[in-house]
Amino acid sequence: QMVEVLETNPVVEVTEEASLGPEISLEKPPEVNSELVAQSKEFKEQARDDFGIDWQKYIQDHETSEYRISSGGYSQDEETGFDKFVSKKSNLQDHLMVQLHESNLNTTETKIGEYLIGLLDRNGYLRITLDEISDLLKVDSQVVAKVVNVIQTMTPAGVGAYNLRGCLLLQASDEGYNNDVVTKVIEKHLGNLANNKLAIISKEEGFELEDVQAAADIIRQFNPKPGASFPTANDNIFVLPDVFVEKIDDEYVVTVNQKDLPRLRINNLYRETIKNKDASNKATYNYIREKLEAAKSFLRYVDKRQSTILNVTKAIVSVQRDFFEFGIFHLKPLTLQDVATMAGVHESTVSRATSGKYAQTPRGLFELKFFFSGGAQTQTGEDISTQVLKKRILDIVKLENPLNPLSDSEIAAQLIAAGVKIARRTIAKYRIELNIPNSSRRKHT
């Protein structure tokens, strides 16, 4: 949007250095007939527009100052070294090529792999059959199948599949979900899963409904388009942090990265045109006034946007302080609504403000959405991370009587008795993620 404004509004311009001298206008005001020139007192009074904005005062306020975001940041003299750039994921093809050349394939198989990777669509699917590839390359289909299998073991999990079912099965295998519930639902019941007909799956396969529900929860977390998360070949492969989180004394301080934000100001030519009314004509004056109003709205928009990012990040940091102090196992549950309430904005605003935004922190560079996670609470309101919950479930199962293993409800009851608020359905979900069979299959006779 900034590029569009700079191209269409000659009043706004970017200044790279304050010492460049008089600005060169991007565009001159339109030529007007001299008969339209008005020098009357009434015309001069139009310096104050219909909205009560004194444009002359507005210009004066900006005469000696460039527009900078008011929320603070690094000084102008500070350099942005190469270490400030953090490499993003390469495009999908490059990412897979690196893995291909690190594999144990021979020269011919590697060439086949390069060809296959080039055939993958934007989502990471191989939309061509083995026989078609074999015919095109004039090689045995078994050789092609071997190379395809190698590609399907690469990251991101699910890449190189022929269809959605294959993509989900690859991800299930990669996550270690080799139990019969998850794989069977993917293989035979994607339609029922899509329509949430879990009872039908339970009845037809003889699975307990709670296990089907847990398997469904797991499958819905998989990515049906594993390649789509990668930038295209034309995307910038480097990102700069949008905000900085620094520990100063005993506090974490958040600042917006302004080093790479263009500094905007009102063009000198238009500033002088508005100030020197006697040298203007009405049409020119109205043209510039309209552009000034648009410029002011845009500058306010930029200021508000940066202010929102700042406030949202401050809210995140205040909740996740233990993460910055002690590490990943202290990441607390946090939702968009939680941050929206703290920042005083709508949930959708938080979603937009954190989408694709990065924070440089003492623990490294993180996308802001990284800090949103699930979990549970104790009865006193203390947050517990998902990782800690899984460990506690695993410990309970290890100590159970193998002749009379605990059901999910009984595990939940033990955690509730220990002060943890958790539902049986959540226990089932975490149990399957830990590859722990249900109680009937854990029973030793």
**Per residue in 238-258, pLDDT tens?**
668 999 999 999 999 999 987
For residue 415, the domain's CATH number is 1.10.10
Q: What would the 3-class secondary structure string for the chain be?
A: CHHHHHHHCCCEEECCCCCCCCCCCCCCCCCCCHHHCCCCHHHHHHHECCCCCEHHHHHHHCCCCCECCCCCCCCCCCCCCHHHCEECCCCHHHHHHHHHHCCCCCHHHHHHHHHHHHHCCCCCCCCCCHHHHHHHHCCCHHHHHHHHHHHCCCCCCCCCCCCHHHHHHHHHHHCCCCCHHHHHHHHHCHHHHHCCCHHHHHHHHCCCHHHHHHHHHHHCCCCCCHHHHCCCCCCCCEECCCEEEEEECCEEEEEECCCCCCCEEECHHHHHHHHCHHHCCHHHHHHHHHHHHHHHHHHHHHHHHHHHHHHHHHHHHHHCHHHHHHCHHHCCCECHHHHHHHHCCCHHHHHHHHCCCEEEECCEEEEHHHHCECEEEECCCCEEEHHHHHHHHHHHHHCCCCCCCCCHHHHHHHHHHCCEECCHHHHHHHHHHCCCCCHHHHCCC
Q: Tell which of 182, 217, 235 closes a domain.
A: 235
Q: Is the pLDDT of residue 119 over 70?
A: yes
pLDDT at position 28 is 40
131 part of a folded domain? yes
pLDDT, tens digit (0-9, with 9 covering 90-100), for 334-344: 888 899 999 99
Domain total in the chain: 2
pLDDT confidence band for 150 (50 / 70 / 90): very high
pLDDT confidence band for 229 (50 / 70 / 90): confident
183 part of a folded domain? yes
pTM, full prediction: 0.41
434 part of a folded domain? yes
Q: Is the pLDDT of residue 62 over 50?
A: no
Domain residue limits at 104: 89-235
246 part of a folded domain? no
Q: Tell which of 187, 219, 235 closes a domain.
A: 235
pLDDT confidence band for 296 (50 / 70 / 90): confident
pLDDT at position 15 is 58
pLDDT at position 410 is 93
Q: Is the pLDDT of residue 421 over 90?
A: no
Q: How many percent of the chain have pLDDT more than 90? A: 24
126 part of a folded domain? yes
Q: Tell which of 235, 253, 271 closes a domain.
A: 235
335 part of a folded domain? no
Q: Is the pLDDT of residue 94 over 90?
A: no
Across 197-201, average pLDDT: 93
